[in-house]
Structure 1
Amino acid sequence: MHTIWKGSISFGLVNIPIKLHAATEDKDVKLRTLHKECKSPIKYEKVCPVCEKEVKNEDIVKAFEYTKGKFVVLDDDDLEKLKKENEDKAVEIIDFVKITEIDPIYYSRSYYMSPGDGGGKAYSLLRKALDESDKVGIAKIVIRSKEQLAVVRVYKNTLVMETIHYPDEVRGAIDVPNVPAEDKVTKKELDTAIMLIDQLTAEFEPEKYTDDYRNELLELIEAKRTGKETVTPTEKEPKSNVTDLMAALQASIDKTKPKKAPARKKRTATKTRKEA
């Protein structure tokens, strides 16, 4: 099984070297787009709309559009330093909660965790402790330049890390259209439902978890913006169609000119007068 991340996870003073492996896979059929005539794969080029030429990868920079038409350019060094600072941090379990306190809407992706070199005993300890306490761990991890909030739990004798969404990444249910304002339910049904809701929301507090990497990135953007390190794209000048219009007019005039009748030869006209 392919390893996608190597590092360590800890709780208290216990440190466990681990490896992450994707627990799921995408089996969608991916289609390519071809030229209908010759069946060649279509090539998508990166073209600057102002310069009207293809742009190479080394000529492309990343930027944040903080307002319409205004950008903050982020250097690769800035992003790499920010990424390195976060990736070097060990993954630490912040809290332990009951899994029933986490609504399924927060879950994103699943990863199997295997112990690294010398981590077998600590791995078994965490697995047994989670199983006996009926708890799951809440941790943070940086995967592919994004800080993820995650749940560490036991699944079929294997530790699993489930990445979950931050609360501000979940859209509000109030925006869902056509939801009935109220339903006709019995008092017993209502009491049971309220009791269940109370149990699920008693201790889990997602608001106290924040995406530190994203916040630091926004701080970097704001620092560059307030420091006037901003750029504005050059506006593309509209093409003048005067030349094309004049050429079309001249071509139309030339096309509609009446054709001149061929002139008679003088010799033929003199000969005719003599004969007469």
Structure 2
Amino acid sequence: MRSIWNGAISFGLVSIPIKLVNATENHSFSFRQIHKEDGGRIRYRKVCELDGEEVSSGDIGRAYQDADGSMIPITDEDMAALPLPTAKTIEIVAFVPAASIDPLQMDTAYYISANGVPAAKPYTLLREALKRSDKVALAKFALRGRERLGMLRVVDDVIAMHGLLWPDEIRKPEGVAPETEVTVRDAELDLADALMDTLGDVDLDSLHDDYREAVEEMIAAKAEGEPVPERAPSGGGGKVIDLMAALENSVQAAKQSRGDDDEHAEVTHLQDRKQPQDKGKSAASSARKTTQGKSAAKKTTAAKKSTGAKKTAASKKSTTAKKTTPAKKSTPGKRKSA
């Protein structure tokens, strides 16, 4: 990996020579601007507004525009002479629990590699200390013309650093939450919990950029002169009319998409609160169910009695038959004795 910054980590009195490399890469498409009429590329030229002449990159400097509109030139020498200890150093200022860092502050991620053989020992020392403490290091460093805040943590066997936004760069969420007061029922929370449990496990490697794949297919089709793939129908959306029904359907759809058996689906179906006029029908239905239950109970009792009667009769017949059989055997015996 190509380094984007060389410097050192200041760990107390220990200095660790390091290199900084990007930990992420961008896979987004880059389109060019063209003239719709003839397809020609649109080019931008850097022109001086005073004389109208085009200026090359080597002749372009930088300046700060003051409140009155005047320009204050700033040279590379001016920036290099700034009294900043973090100009070439990642200065660790504290070790804190990872949970104390607000994820809203996290910015670009970098990998930190040891720069040279002598740096291997102190680099490994810091890495193992971070592992054992189960903490992250807060640091300050300068990159691309400004001082930044960073968080150092261990990823596999490498020290990684996340650029952090300064606390005053995080905006307060004023006016973002719903202004109307809303009450959420326990039943709705239960269904939301069921949906969260169903969607709880995921392999991050299985997730991919559907938009980028669709753009790739569209570009390939146009390059070959083939029809552009049609847009797939959207999966719903719009206003939520019945929140409970939407949650129930979401749980069922999530289980089906993950291959779960519908027989094991635990979805709580609630009564509709919009039908109070059907109390009479409900009562009548309950009465019919109760009557049917009593009738079924009577039939069961009768069946049990009938079965018991049959068994008793059979038992009596069996007993009579057993008693009769010895009587028949004794008769021939009496005739022989006479």
Note whether the superposition's TM-score is higher than 0.5: yes
Q: CA deviation at 1:44?
A: 1.7
Q: TM-score, normalised by structure 1?
A: 0.58
Partner of 1:30: 30
What secondary structure sits across from 2:174 in the alignment? helix
Could you give the per-residue CA deviations for residues 22-67 of structure 1, whole angstroms, max 9, x where no partner exists? Answer: 000111100001223443321123456x75834525376523242x
Which structure has more relative contact order (CA 8 Å, sep 6+)? It is 1
Partner of 1:147: 147
Q: Within 5 Å, which residues of 2 pair with 1:193-212?
A: none
Partner of 2:95: 96
Partner of 1:195: none
Amino acid in structure 1 at the alignment position of 2:4: I
Q: Within 5 Å, which residues of 2 pair with 1:64-213?
A: 64-66=65-67, 70-77=68-75, 80-85=77-82, 86=84, 88-117=87-116, 118-176=118-176, 178=178
Q: Which ranges of structure 1 fall in alignment gaps of 5 or more residues?
A: 190-276
Tell me the distance in 2 between the aligned counterparts of 1:137 and 1:8.
15
Compared CA separation, residues 10 and 182, structure 1 to 2 (3 A): farther
Tell me the distance in 1 between the aligned counterparts of 2:81 and 2:181.
49
Partner of 1:62: 63
Partner of 2:327: none
Q: CA deviation at 1:138?
A: 0.6
Which one has the bigger helix percentage?
2
What is the Cα-based RMSD across aligned positions, in Å?
2.7
Flag the structure with larger Rg. 2
Which one has the bigger strand percentage?
1
Q: TM-score, normalised by structure 2?
A: 0.48
Tell me the distance in 1 between the aligned counterparts of 2:141 and 2:61.
29
Tell me the distance in 2 between the aligned counterparts of 1:144 and 1:75.
18
Tell me the distance in 1 between the aligned counterparts of 2:184 and 2:145.
48
Q: How many residues are matched?
A: 182
Percent of residue pairs bearing the same amino acid type: 35
Tell me the distance in 1 between the aligned counterparts of 2:133 and 2:61.
52
Q: CA deviation at 1:2?
A: 1.0
Compared CA separation, residues 180 and 138, structure 1 to 2 (3 A): farther
Check whether the contact 2:141–2:149 (CA below 8 A) recurs between aligned residues: yes
Check whether the contact 1:137–1:151 (CA below 8 A) recurs between aligned residues: yes
Q: Which ranges of structure 2 fall in alignment gaps of 5 or more residues?
A: 190-338
